[in-house]
Amino acid sequence: MPVTVVALVTSLSGWGLPAALERFGVRRARAVWTGTAGAVPAVSFLPVLGDGMDGGTRISLALLHLAVAAVLIPGLRGRSPRVGAAAAGG
């Protein structure tokens, strides 16, 4: 259950970040999103490096993180919610 919740929160954040960047007028919002999308999985591997896990748990956790990143990054790249769509009525 916690794995599903974290994956859902991550995916919603990845989906909403481009809209927030565009709304606040950040130049190169796509490049910022791509950099963030690469940094988040890298940071998510920090617990794998810690103590208190056996080898099988480390491998399982690493593969789980890679699987989520492999689905979310290509799936969300370039798909931001249309910022002006609600205001424009469409």
Total domains present in the chain: 1
Establish if 52 belongs to a structural domain.
Answer: yes
Establish if 85 belongs to a structural domain.
Answer: no
Give 68-84 pLDDT, tens digit per residue.
888 888 887 755 555 44
| Mean pLDDT computed over every residue of the chain | 80
pTM > 0.85: no
Establish if 21 belongs to a structural domain.
Answer: yes
C-alpha distances (whole Å) from 4 to each of 9, 17, 27 are 9, 20, 33
Establish if 38 belongs to a structural domain.
Answer: yes
Give the residue numbers spanning the domain of 26.
2-79
Establish if 87 belongs to a structural domain.
Answer: no
